Amino acid sequence: MHVPASWVSAGLLSSQVLLLVFCWFNRHLSGVWLLALGLALNFLVIAANRGFMPISPQTASRLYPQDVVQAIPLGSRFGYGKDILLMPADTQLVWLSDRFLPPEGFPYQVAFSLGDVVISAGAFWLTAVQGKPLVLLAEKNRKDIPC
């Protein structure tokens, strides 16, 4: 089933807004502000580029064979995902686009953005910090219980 590009871009932008609202309601939790910053960076670049995350042909050719990338017209969606194939000169906020790749030889190759890095850092911080008080409380309670 082919979903129209306008629906996909609207869904992508809407999901970003909903995630930002979630962050607002949970802003008191450690790390959520960093998570929200990453989401906001991704939202900005997606909104500035017709509702899709831009990826350059150079970056895409590291993920897929050159003939596959060359068969996709510039300005078109890259597969069925969130990406749109754009030259860096035609990309708004190019420094926020999907332009980074893991080193060659990594078992899983995927393009990611600066916003994705910030989201990952925020999610790591959030999960790392949230478990600590419960663990400390559980250890304290175990010491108080006679065996």
- Model confidence over 25-53: pLDDT tens digits? 999 998 999 999 999 999 999 999 999 99
Q: What is the amino acid identity at position 120?
A: S
Which segments of the chain have a pLDDT < 50?
137
- Determine whether 119 is exposed, middle or buried from the number of CB atoms within 10 Å of its CB (0-12, 13-18, 19+): buried
pLDDT of residue 10: 95
State how far the alpha carbon of 6 is from the alpha carbons of 51, 83, 92, in Å: 8, 13, 19
pLDDT computed for residue 112 by the predictor: 97
Among residues 59, 57, 109, 77, the alpha carbon closest in space to that of 11 is found at 77
Question: Residue 128's pLDDT is what?
Answer: 87
Name which of 120, 130, 118, 124 is nearest 40 in CA terms.
118
What is the pTM for the complete model shown? 0.84
